Amino acid sequence: MFKDQVIVITGAARGLGLGMAKRFARDGAQVVITDIDQVAGERSAQQLRSEGAAAQFAPLDVRDPAQSNALVEQLAREKGRLDVWVNNAGVAYKGPAETLPLNEWDQSIAVMLSGAFYCAQAAGRQMLAQGRGVIVNVASVGGYKYIEGRVAYSVPKAGVIMLTQALGIEWAKRGVRVVGIAPGVVMTEMVQKGIDEGTARLDLYERRTPMRRLGAVEEIAEAVYWLASDEASYVVAETMIVDGGWTAYQLF
Ligand SMILES: NC(=O)c1ccc[n+]([C@@H]2O[C@H](COP(=O)([O-])OP(=O)(O)OC[C@H]3O[C@@H](n4cnc5c(N)ncnc54)[C@H](O)[C@@H]3O)[C@@H](O)[C@H]2O)c1
């Protein structure tokens, strides 16, 4: 479905973003892995290429709008198209609201909310000019339901859900679909770090999930793949929850 299409994924050096890159690459897409971590990003792109995929790495700190603008311009010049942009980059600071270091708050907003908007604006301009394109914003169940100590994470994620509504509505009639995904808990470095630091517990995550297991990277990638495809042509301004039942579940 995505053969030769240009797919850009932010924060794709590892974790969910890398899983998405692999899924689109399977279709023969031209996948652009972007990340602030150049070493891991280059390594992941190289790994995909060694498996026969058309993957490249482009450094991108989503906090800097000049960088996302420059990347979009470069891709338009070199490839003449931009089909899908996934706003996936994220950081997870945890701590009580009253003592949360303000730089952790600022970073969370900068990466996950402002970063998503800057990238969507840059990608959206190109897609509007083309009259075609899809932007997928990665939110979280944390944007709907609050876990204590996650103020820096949940608030920007809730903002991302509204960003998807806002841009989805603004651009719907001009051929650009903006959609979102809200994953439940998936074991990536982000989640492992919380467990290692003692701010999260695997058994509680499992108990909180009606399916009694964490999600797989591939299960999130598959949902993003579908959302970005023409199969989802009437889905717009919507954030799809993919969480093993987490959000629906009233645990007591
Ligand atoms: N893993 C989960 O359980 C889970 C659940 C819900 C939502 N999410 C969301 O999915 C996305 C991916 O999460 P993950 O679990 O793969 O995390 P991860 O930590 O494994 O990967 C996140 C990537 O984002 C990159 N990044 C951080 N700051 C950046 C910046 N300023 N510019 C560009 N890249 C930057 C990191 O270098 C890293 O490669 C995040 O938005 C996260 O909030 C994850």
C-beta of 106 in contact with ligand 1 (< 6 A): no
Instruction: Quickly tell me which residue has 């876990």 as its tokens.
Output: 147
Report whether 215 contacts 183 (CB < 8 A). Answer: yes
Q: Taking Cα atoms as reference points, which of 61, 54, 64, 57 lies closest to residue 24?
A: 54
Max Cα separation, the chain? 55
**Are 17 and 70 a contacting pair, CB within 8 Å?**
no
* Predicted TM-score of the model (pTM): 0.98
Calpha distance 138→121 (Å, rounded):
16
State the closest ligand 1 atom to the C-alpha of 41, by its place in the atom list counted from 1.
39
Q: Give phi and psi for 178, each to the nearest 5.
A: -115, 120
Joined tokens for residue 213: 């297991």
pLDDT at 251: 85
Hey, what CATH topology would domain 6-242 get? Answer: Rossmann fold (3.40.50)
d(CA 164, CA 6): 21
CA of 112 to the centre of ligand 1 (A): 9
From 242, 229, 113, select the one nearest 167 (Cα to Cα): 113
d(CA 217, CA 7): 18
Task: Determine which residue's CA is closest to atom 20 belonging to ligand 1.
Answer: 15
Q: With residue 37 as reference, give the H or E element that holds it.
A: none
pLDDT at 252: 80
Contact status, residue 21 vs residue 9, Cβ threshold 8 Å: yes
The length of the chain in residues reads 252
Selected catalytic residue, list 118, 153, 205, 225: 153
Cβ(88) – ligand 1 distance below 6 Å: yes
Residue with CA closest to ligand 1 atom 8: 140
Task: Find where tokens 């790495």 sit.
Answer: 57
Element (H, E) at 108: helix 102-108
CB 38 within 8 A of CB 14: no
Atom of ligand 1 nearest to the CA of 111: 31
Q: How many Å lie between the centroid of ligand 1 and the Cα of residue 86?
A: 12
The closest of 180, 166, 246 to 214, measured between CA atoms, is 246
What pLDDT is attached to residue 93?
97
Neighbours of 99 (CB within 10 A): 6
Ligand 1 pocket, 16 CB below 6 A? yes
Tell the residue nearest (CA) to atom 17 of ligand 1.
190
Cα of 173 from ligand 1 centre, angstroms: 31
Specify whether 249 is catalytic.
no
Per DSSP (E only), the strands in the chain are 6-9, 30-35, 54-59, 84-87, 133-138, 176-183, 239-242
Residues of the chain with pLDDT under 50: none
Structure tokens at 167: 């841009």
* Domain parsing of the chain, residue ranges: 6-242
